[in-house]
Amino acid sequence: MDKKEILEQLRRAKSAHIKWRAYAQAIVSGLPVEKEQVPVIHTDCAFGKWYYGPGQEISHLKSFNAISTPHEMLHQIYIEIFKLLFGEDERSTFKKLFGSKSKLLNENRRQAKVLLQDLISISGTLLEAINLLESEVKDITHEDLIAL
């Protein structure tokens, strides 16, 4: 694969992440989104499929490994958001015992909005790491690229 192809794949993956984040924001805002648009598991999103698939071709680059932690953190936070908004768990018992469903839903939405701010912040960290990787790819020599 040549540098141009690598950069195109990286940019598509970056764009996919931005779309994923927008869908996560939409869900927290109460807008309808298809389940497939916001995968929960970090290896199932379009960015993750690139990173753990074709992206491994450039995994030896210094900035590549700085991406995995914030990417996984995003999905962990999203799991918490998803559980708050859609999960049925022990809170169902508390609903029956202590309060109305409406109060609980409002509290869950409030908590989801707080988590969303964390998700957006970590997304910024991830995008910075992706930008560093993109710069590193741009700077790689043809000889180093062939050695991949």
Per-residue model confidence as pLDDT tens for the chain (148 residues): 788 999 999 999 999 999 999 999 999 998 888 877 787 899 999 999 999 999 999 999 999 999 999 999 999 999 999 889 888 554 454 444 445 566 767 889 999 999 999 999 999 999 999 999 999 999 988 777 777 6
Distances in whole angstroms, Cα of residue 142 to Cα of each of 4, 5, 9, 56: 11, 13, 18, 18
pTM of the model: 0.83
Q: Residue with structure tokens 């930008």?
A: 131
Q: Which residues of 11-49 are buried (b: 16+ CB within 10 A; e: fewer)?
A: eebbebbeebbebbbebbeeeeeeeeebbeebeebebbe
